[in-house]
Amino acid sequence: MNMNNSHESKIKWGILGTGWIASQFARDLAHAQNAERFAVGSRTKESADQFAENFNFAHAYGSYEELLANPEIDAIYVATPHPFHKENVLTCLRAGKAVLCEKPFTINAAELEEMISYAKENKLFLMEGMWTRFLPPIRKVREWLQAGRIGDVKLVKADFGFRSDWNPEGRLLNPDLGGGALLDAGIYPISFASMVLGAKPEKIMSTAHIGETGVDEQFSILLSYESGRTASLNGSVRLNLTNEAYIYGTDGYIHIPSFLNSKSASLFINGEEVETFTDDRTSIGYVYEAEEVGRCLQEGLTESSIIPLEESLGIMKILDEVRGQWGLRYPFEK
């Protein structure tokens, strides 16, 4: 990295892809204290030029290879659809770049193991872009849990679902694009449960409605952990859910409305609300994961302790197990 170990230096970001999530991340980079919007790469020069103009990036490239050839770029945000993550991330790593990859990290655990192995062998930074994990209300929730405010945690409940339009060819319902509720929506409640209870449940039970396109449109998962702890999780791409999360302990509970993009969290003891944390951020919230990447790079780290690679792999193994229970494989999986 060309940062001269200076904590004042800003991370020069490149964005690979110009879709909706790329624009969200790019917009938020303006709020990052340690980041610079530097370059964007797309499959067409026209798309890259438009994106660079919209979000004030200094460089625009009509191919990913040209983007990665720029030696000044410190970190790449991979913003392509998840079936392309493995190939895109490995290409970035081979170019010697630090990588933040949009969730879900990959399609399956085998793909992720390949990426992690390469990153570790070559001492390169790699992190899953699970933005929820870095939001201030979620950080506050972790503080409450670490302080034992609600006693022994026994139950996590989290749902994320929305009613998408019926588009069999679109990303959400097309098996050729890794469609379905689990990887797109389900990753949120599963990652949330992992944050609280860990990524290695003793038992995984699940059920799903497989729709006419051959992907899961709706699912329910029950994770069972030692000491009688459980996580009850639901997701859908054809049903609007409340998208709330609850963490229940022996002394109280925590409620997080709209937990995946949370603006607040409330702590209840003996049924009484005793503390509420409210985030008045002006950013969308992607800024926090970007700043964490910058912090890690400036400190010479190759992964983040907030969402370590081993945990991301454990989460992906849960997703694999669940899809196995449903008999759901994507056409391109080996």
Distance between CA atoms of residues 310 and 208, nearest Å: 27
Residue 9: its pLDDT value, please?
85
Tell me: pLDDT of 197 over 60: yes
- What dihedral angle (degrees, nearest 10) is formed by the CA atoms of 286, 287, 289, 294? 150
CB-CB contact of 124 with 220 (8 Å): no
Residue 4: its pLDDT value, please?
41
Residue 291: its pLDDT value, please?
98
What does pTM read for this prediction? 0.95
Domains of the chain: 11-130 (3.40.50.720), 136-278+315-326 (3.30.360.10)
Q: End-to-end CA distance of the chain: give it in Å, rounded.
A: 36
Residue 8: its pLDDT value, please?
56
Tell me: pLDDT of 28 over 60: yes
pLDDT tens-digit profile of 283-319? Answer: 999 999 999 999 999 999 999 999 999 999 999 999 9
Name the percent of the chain lying above pLDDT 70: 97
- What dihedral angle (degrees, nearest 10) is formed by the CA atoms of 62, 66, 71, 76? 60
Tell me: pLDDT of 211 over 50: yes
Buried b (16+ CB within 10 A) or exposed e, 260-279: bebbbbbbbeeeeeeeebeb
pLDDT tens-digit profile of 71-112? Answer: 999 999 999 999 999 999 999 999 999 999 999 999 999 999
pLDDT tens-digit profile of 164-174? Answer: 999 999 999 99
DSSP assignment letter at 299: T
Q: Taking all residues of the chain, what is their mean pLDDT, rounded to a whole number?
A: 96
Q: Which residue type does 85 have?
A: H
Which active-site residues does the annotation give? 103
Distance between CA atoms of residues 86 and 101, nearest Å: 9
Band (147; pLDDT cuts 50, 70, 90): very high
CB-CB contact of 327 with 211 (8 Å): no
